[in-house]
């Protein structure tokens, strides 16, 4: 049986706005298996992105997680991400779980270069590894250098040994802030830059040395997206959440990014949650699919099964609305309901052609209708 890397249990998220309380996630349950690509699909406003943000525990006010658990497998056992202290969360974000945010230009800081932004993540999470490399370098230099330079190198070595023992050492940080002494940090920055160049090469960015010194406004849309992916992968996270990473890109760049993500996923051995509203992309990259509607996961199955035998009326409608040459284009009537006053019972009932009285009263249960195929609909499970 495939190992589970993360599990969302009964997740409830609300936004307290001036208009009223938005019931954004209504007891969401999801299991993410190690090494898979799980697609999360649904219309805009169905709760896909906020599910991703909740896994990272980065929901900001007026949003509030009011119930449930996000269980993550770590070396020390299972932890509930939602119950962790901010200092611990900072350690696992980037290293364990990372996210590629929507809109690469908004995700990048306009006043820092590409190198600065990727290096920041590397120096925060991989400082020990960088220190070890620097120490090796200093040892080599000591063998070759003149007697005059040796005492300075020994002082540098002492500082790096201290940093290796305690990467967050206050003494080292204080020394780094003194202009002349702080120059020892240049070695660390140079090592991080080497990693940045390597990552940019992995992202298939031409002339990575030049791109590393560019600012976000100098990058094309596809290039900015690759940089955002590089930041997310810089610490080889075990779980990567990609939130609509190809939405604003033209189709050729979109295809390149999808290919790249597939390749990088195998190379870095990462589990991927791919959030999108595009069923075509789901078919291309995912192993399993979770269909979301108005804050609920309404169907979950393997990708082939979802396309071959969709069970939930919403999934069927989503598949029918994919434009295909020679086929009648059928759009889903109505729109996603306001989640301030969501419909009672099944939230899809105002748009469902199969709705019965019970659907307006009782919220259907999330049941396994076929092996590995789960659905939340009163038409199944009695």
Binding test (CB under 6 A) with ligand SF4, winner from 261, 313, 337, 369: 313
Rg (CA), the chain: 24
Q: Using the rule CB under 6 A, which residue among 224, 241, 292, 352 binds ligand SF4? A: 352
Q: Which one of 205, 290, 317, 346 is in contact with ligand SF4 (CB under 6 A)?
A: 346
315 lies in the site for ligand SF4, by CB under 6 A = no
Tell me: does residue 359 bind ligand SF4 (CB under 6 A). yes
The residue among 72 and 352 lying less far from ligand SF4, judged by its C-beta, is 352
Sign for the CA dihedral angle at 249, 252, 258, 263 comes to negative
Q: Residue 296 interacts with ligand SF4 (CB under 6 A)?
A: no
CB 27 → ligand SF4: shortest distance, Å?
15
Tokens, residue 134: 């620097």
- The nearest distance, CB 170 to ligand SF4, in angstroms, is 58
Tell me the window of 67-75, 149-157, 218-226, 374-382 that interacts with ligand SF4 (CB under 6 A): 374-382
Question: Which among 58-66, 92-100, 116-124, 348-356 is the span making contact with ligand SF4, rule CB under 6 A?
Answer: 348-356
Indicate the DSSP class of residue 101: -
Sheet strands (E) in the chain: 4-16, 21-33, 37-41, 63-74, 77-80, 97-100, 239-243, 271-276, 288-293, 296-302, 366-370, 373-376
Q: Which is nearer to ligand SF4, 171 or 358 (CB)?
A: 358
Output the six-digit token pair for 221.
Answer: 């849309």
Q: Which of 132, 204, 354, 361 binds ligand SF4 (CB under 6 A)?
A: 354
The order of strands in the sheet holding 4-16 is 21-33, 4-16, 63-74, 77-80
Please identify which residue in 134, 339, 364, 373 interacts with ligand SF4, judged by CB under 6 A: 364
CA-wise closest residue to 56 among 190, 239, 191, 235? 239
The residues, ordered by sequence, that sit 6+ positions from 205 with a Cβ below 8 Å of its Cβ are 211, 223, 226, 227
Write down the least CB distance from residue 196 to ligand SF4, Å.
48
Q: Which range touches ligand SF4 (CB under 6 A), out of 16-24, 60-68, 182-190, 346-354?
A: 346-354
Binding status of residue 292 toward ligand SF4 by CB under 6 A: no
Strand partners, 288: 38, 302
The correct pick among 23, 125, 349, 373 for binding ligand SF4 (CB under 6 A) is: 349
Distant-in-sequence contacts of 59-67, Cβ < 8 A, 24+ apart: 59/13, 61/16, 62/15, 62/16, 62/17, 63/13, 63/14, 63/15, 63/24, 64/13, 64/14, 64/15, 64/16, 65/11, 65/12, 65/13, 66/12, 66/13, 66/14, 67/10, 67/11, 67/12, 67/27
Q: Which C-beta is closer to ligand SF4: that of 166 or that of 360?
A: 360
Q: How far is the CB of 3 from ligand SF4 (least distance, A)?
A: 32
**What six digits make up the tokens of 261?**
């993500």
* Interface residue with ligand SF4, options 135, 181, 214, 379 (CB under 6 A): 379
Output 304 or 354, the one with its CB closest to ligand SF4: 354
Smallest gap, in angstroms, from Cβ of residue 330 to ligand SF4? Answer: 16
Q: Which residues bind ligand SF4 (CB under 6 A)?
A: 312-313, 346, 348-349, 352, 354-355, 359, 364, 377-379
């Amino acid at each position: 049986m495939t190992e589970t890397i993360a599990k969302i249990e009964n997740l409830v998220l609300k936004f307290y706005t001036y208009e009223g309380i938005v019931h954004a996630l209504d007891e969401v349950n999801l299991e993410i298996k190690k090494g898979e690509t799980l697609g999360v699909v649904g219309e805009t406003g169905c709760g896909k992105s906020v599910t991703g943000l909740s896994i990272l525990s980065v929901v900001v006010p007026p949003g509030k997680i009011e119930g449930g658990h996000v269980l993550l497998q770590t070396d020390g056992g299972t932890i509930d991400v939602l119950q962790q202290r901010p200092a611990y969360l900072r350690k696992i974000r980037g290293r364990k779980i990372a996210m590629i945010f929507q809109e690469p230009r908004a995700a990048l800081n306009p006043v820092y270069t590409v190198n600065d932004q990727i290096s920041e993540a590397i120096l925060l999470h991989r400082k020990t590894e960088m220190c070890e490399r620097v120490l090796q370098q200093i040892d080599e230099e000591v063998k070759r250098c003149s007697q005059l330079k040796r005492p300075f190198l020994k002082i540098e070595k002492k500082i790096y040994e201290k940093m290796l023992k305690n990467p967050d050492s206050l003494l080292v940080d204080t020394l780094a802030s003194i202009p002349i002494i702080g120059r020892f940090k240049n070695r660390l920055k140079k090592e991080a830059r080497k990693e940045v160049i390597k990552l940019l090469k992995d992202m298939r960015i031409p002339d990575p040395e030049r791109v590393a010194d560019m600012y976000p406004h100098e990058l094309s849309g596809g290039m900015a997206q690759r940089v955002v992916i590089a930041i997310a992968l810089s610490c080889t996270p075990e779980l990567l959440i990609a939130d609509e990473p190809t939405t604003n890109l033209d189709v050729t760049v979109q295809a390149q990014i999808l290919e790249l993500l597939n390749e990088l996923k195998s190379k870095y051995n990462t589990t991927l949650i791919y959030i999108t509203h595009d069923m075509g992309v789901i078919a291309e990259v995912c192993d399993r699919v979770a269909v979301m509607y108005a804050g609920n996961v309404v169907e979950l199955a393997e990708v082939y099964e979802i396309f071959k035998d969709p069970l939930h009326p919403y999934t069927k409608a989503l598949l029918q609305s994919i434009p295909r040459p020679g086929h009648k284009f059928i759009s889903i009537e109505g729109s996603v309901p306001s989640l301030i006053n969501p419909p009672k019972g099944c939230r899809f009932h105002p748009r469902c052609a199969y709705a019965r009285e019970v659907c307006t009263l009782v919220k259907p249960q999330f049941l396994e209708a076929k092996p590995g195929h789960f659905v939340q609909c009163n038409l199944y499970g009695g």
